[in-house]
Amino acid sequence: MMIKKNILVLCTGNSCRSQMAEGYLKYFAGDKAEIYSAGIEVHGLNQHAVQVMREDGINISYHTSNHIDEYQNIEFDFVITVCDHAQEICPYFSGKSKKIHQNFPDPAKYTGAEFEIDLFFIKVRDMIKIYCEKFVQENL
């Protein structure tokens, strides 16, 4: 029997980047891992993130925005921080957790016309998708 890996994706608000990464990691990992995402703060699920993920065939509309403290009793194999802020204040995880950091730009902070914001979300989504697919190939 294969033992599933526990993977946590951590960012500041658990609204965009970590949510998109959770969606792609679930997609690419299948039944090889349990995927969680959380934030140092909780900002709620960003609807732009939901929209651009849906456009790529991944439904994250049922995701919830979770605080890191909700997962303190889970032993993670990997903790992936997807923003510099989360890496800087990432809580200590005991045991075998392997910390990995990959900063992505924050699409929620992007300003401009609506179509420009949409394009930036798509750009960040695609960066996250490539990263997640590679992560699963190399670690699972």
Active-site positions read 11, 83, 90
Residues with Cβ < 8 Å from 95, sequence gap 6 or more?
75
Residues with Cβ < 8 Å from 16, sequence gap 6 or more?
46, 48, 49, 106, 107, 108, 121, 124
CB atoms within 10 A of CB 58: 18
